[in-house]
Copies of this chain bind each other. A is one copy, B any other.
Amino acid sequence: MIYSEFKKMVNISKEEISGQILERNRDSIKVKKEEKVIENLIKIIDATLDICSKKSFQAMSIRDLSAASGLSRGALYSYFINKEELLILILSQGREIANRVLTQQIARGSSPLEKLRLAIKSHIYLSEAMQTWFYFTYIEARSLPRDEQKRTIESELYTEKIFIDIINEGIAKKIFRNENVILAASVLKAMLQDWYMKRWKYKNRKVSVDDYADFVIHVMESILLI
């Protein structure tokens, strides 16, 4: 699997995402016409993620968002109750998609080695397709209210647990060396995160998403394979 295939297979269109947000937040969205909602939610979320790649969510004012999205300040409040709810909206929806796609993709593998490769590729490809969202989540995590912060950490540990399980299975089947599993999974996660956190660096150096994925797989195989 390469990135272009992944993108075809996994449809992460903005319309789909906005549609799901609408479903899950009918109460707090005051506008009734579905088309309008989807159209404007896309504008709002795009603008938010764009602004927040340069400054923090807290530093983004509703005035900024109004200017960037093209909606007036008043109109914005027809789509979310307050600024904090907008943040939660974006985070929860992204989390839902990311967890779903990752779990689906890994299920396609049979051997631990195949699963490991699939896990690495789908995580990197997913973070490539949703780069601004991944970046946003990482960066904003600590500014969240307690509940939301807890959910973010849970989601992070859940992903890591997937890696830990795969590695453990490989060790049990004598395919992988008996390494420190916690540390192996941790450094893997660190490498995966670097892809979306340092996108500018890899872009400048002309490292493609497929190059990066292959290299991370190579590193993990170097330490794990017998």
Contact = CB atoms under 8 A, between A and B. Distances in A.
A93 to B, nearest CB: 23
Nearest to A138: B197
A219 interface: yes
A137 interface: no
Interface string A155-195: 00000000000000000000000001011001101110110
A8 interface: no
A154 to B, nearest CB: 13
A53 B201 CA distance: 25
Interface residues of A, number: 32
A56 B58 contact: yes
A77 interface: no
A222 interface: yes
A190 B138 CA distance: 14
Interface string A41-66: 00000000000011110110000000
A188 B218 CA distance: 14
A147 interface: no
A216 interface: yes
A211 interface: yes
A103 interface: no
Contact of A223 (B53, B139, B211, B219): B219
B187 A191 contact: yes
Contacts of A216: 187
A194 B184 CA distance: 13
A150 to B, nearest CB: 13
Nearest to A140: B56
Contact of A205 (B56, B59, B182): B182
Given A53-B142, A54-B143, 5 more contacts: A55-B143, A56-B59, A139-B139, A186-B207, A222-B223
